[in-house]
Amino acid sequence: MAKIGNLPVILYCLVVGVAWLFVGHPLVTVAAGIAPIAIILVFKFPYFVCLGFIVFSFFRIHEAFRFLIPLHIPLLLALASLAVLGWHLVVIKSIKLYWSKQLTLFAVFFGLVSIGVLFASSRPIAMDYYKSTYIKIGIMVMAIVWLSRTPKDFLLACRLFVAAGVLVALVALLNKVNGIGLVEGSRVTIGRDIGSILGDPNDLSLVLLFPSSFALSLFFAAGQSKFERFLAGIAFCTLISAIIATQSRGGLLGIMSITGFFGWHKVKNKAVLFTAIAFLVPILLVAAGISGRSSGGAGEDGIDASSMGRIYAWGAAIKMAVDNPLTGVGISNFFVNYFAYSAHWDGLNHAVHSTWFGILAETGFLGFAAFIVLLVNLLQNMQKALVKVNSLNAAANERDEDEGDGDGKSKGKPKPEPLDPIIQPYVYAIYAGLISFMVSGTFLTQGFTWPFYILLALAVSLIKYVDDRGVK
């Protein structure tokens, strides 16, 4: 028995020895010492590992901080995520699986996108994006749905998204101050010289917009400490400043929709709210300096070049859908089909710059309809969840007041299960994020990128949590 018990240790030492032989670097011994602890933590906290993979894949932390690139952290987190999911699902069966109507609708849309890959106008391009990004999104949606089970999980997601967003925002602001990677002389980017996704100011604004609703929800969260609410307020201001530096119209629309949503629910006097909006929106537009942009600025007569470019792109998207109504041109194929379908050719292919027209072009009318049904169902259930949460809180407060008065009015009444204080602001965060996605989607291409699908997964798990504690 002793020999069998020592076998793992012997094998581990053998692996370290082989690694030292081939790598020959002193850090091998350091990594060898940390590895067992890291492996234990990875399998003990699967949700944290999956969130870490999402953070690096979406926020591109390793591209914002380039010294992390040689470490291949996204790849390591991807392997770790698959390993822990397999372990918890198949081996120890600690994760309770469930299904919902939203997941069925997502599966339908995901299936249509998958079929569209086979009929794409350029199958290699579609397959490459499908394998490198979209299939990971599909897997992580299910992982988040089944791993998000408690208020602590929801709070962890909020904090990680906000922290990652602030890190990217700080790099963007530093680039703006130092004039690094500016597009059109004024629009900030990150990692443009290495081909990073963050090298496009519109995509950068999308990345920064996603955590904004979570930061604002933490700011309003009554259950959090004053210090954390203060940090959340600073984080929100930092994110807004970086979005303004991108001079993205979609980003500004997203900011307005998020702040407007929270304002509508938090400000009782609507006259004050509308007055504040009328006063602050012009200031926001001036601060963003959109009128000074090389494209889409005030210096262009009539409809500016940026707007006309979008009109041509949207027209091309409609033609692609008309020609391919059932499957579209295929995921990630709009760009390469622009020349064949655009009414205007300036020598360059262009992106669609619209979530709605992008989905229409790349999945056809069938895929577009499936996506709209999914989104509408999600919004309806988020509204129901918000009503339920408010009802539970009101019932709990009423019960506490009755018990405090000692008048016995609450006798015989069912006592609602109290909700964790983080649940209400978390509902607001996801709801505001979905509305921001819809509004900013007018100018930002995010139909097949991470934000919507992360919100989808978090919303499904939240709806499940609230339904299990529903009001009769």
Separation between Cα atoms, residue 73 and residue 301, nearest integer Å: 48
| Whether the Cβ atoms of residue 246 and residue 205 lie closer than 8 Å to each other | yes
pLDDT bin (cut points 50, 70, 90) of residue 424 is: confident
What is the Cα–Cα distance from 111 to 162, expressed in whole angstroms? 32
> Average pLDDT, stretch 435-451?
88
Mean pLDDT score of the chain: 82
pLDDT of residue 413: 54
- CB count within 10 Å of CB 180 equals 16
| Local confidence band at 300 (pLDDT 50, 70, 90 cut-offs) | very low
Residue whose C-alpha is closest to residue 138's, from 165, 109, 101, 158: 109
pLDDT band at 302 (very low <50, low <70, confident <90, very high): very low
Residue 449 reports pLDDT greater than 60: yes
Confidence label for 301 from pLDDT (cuts 50, 70 and 90): very low
What pLDDT was estimated at residue 316? Answer: 92
For residue 375, is pLDDT > 90? yes
The mean pLDDT value for 331-348 works out to: 86
pLDDT for residue 405: 55
**16-25, 202-211, 393-402, range with greatest mean pLDDT:** 202-211
Asked if residue 467 has pLDDT above 60, the reply is yes
Measured between alpha carbons, how far is 472 from 462 in angstroms, rounded to an integer?
18
C-alpha distances in Å from residue 242, one per residue of 165, 204, 363: 10, 9, 33
**DSSP symbol at 187:** B
- Among 232-241, 291-300, 413-422, name the most confident range: 232-241
Residue pLDDT, tens place only, 30-70 = 555 555 666 666 667 788 888 888 899 889 999 999 888 88
The predicted structure's pLDDT at residue 288: 60
What is the pLDDT, as a whole number, of residue 443?
84
Among 273-277, 295-299, 313-317, the range with the most confident prediction by mean pLDDT is: 313-317
CA 343 – CA 333 distance, rounded (Å): 18
pLDDT reported for residue 61: 92
More confident residue, 396 or 272: 272
Question: Three-class SS of residue 211?
Answer: coil
Q: Please say whether the beta carbons of 437 and 210 come within 8 A.
A: no
Q: Looking at the predicted structure, is the pLDDT value of residue 411 above 70?
A: no
DSSP conformation letters of 121-160 = TTHHHHHHHIIIIIHHHHHHHHHHHHH--SHHHHHHHHHH
| Per-residue confidence (pLDDT) for residue 291, from 0 to 100 | 53
Round to whole Å and give the CA distance between 86 and 194: 34
Query: Would you say residue 4 has pLDDT above 50?
Result: no
**Look-up of token digits 């597009």:** 183
- Under a CB-based contact definition with an 8 Å cutoff, are residues 344 and 312 in contact? yes
Cα-Cα-Cα-Cα torsion 249, 251, 254, 256, nearest 10 degrees, comes to -70
Of 107 and 81, which is predicted with more confidence?
107
Quick one: pLDDT at residue 292? 52
pLDDT digits (tens, 9 = 90+) for 83-139: 888 887 777 777 788 899 999 999 999 999 999 999 999 999 999 999 989 999 999
pLDDT confidence of 29, banded at 50, 70, 90? low
pTM: 0.82
pLDDT tens figures, 129-185: 999 899 999 998 998 898 888 888 888 889 999 999 999 999 999 999 999 988 888
Span 232-265, pLDDT tens digits = 999 999 999 999 999 888 888 888 889 888 888 8
**Residue in the block written with tokens 């690096």:** 56
Residue 208 has pLDDT above 70, yes or no: yes
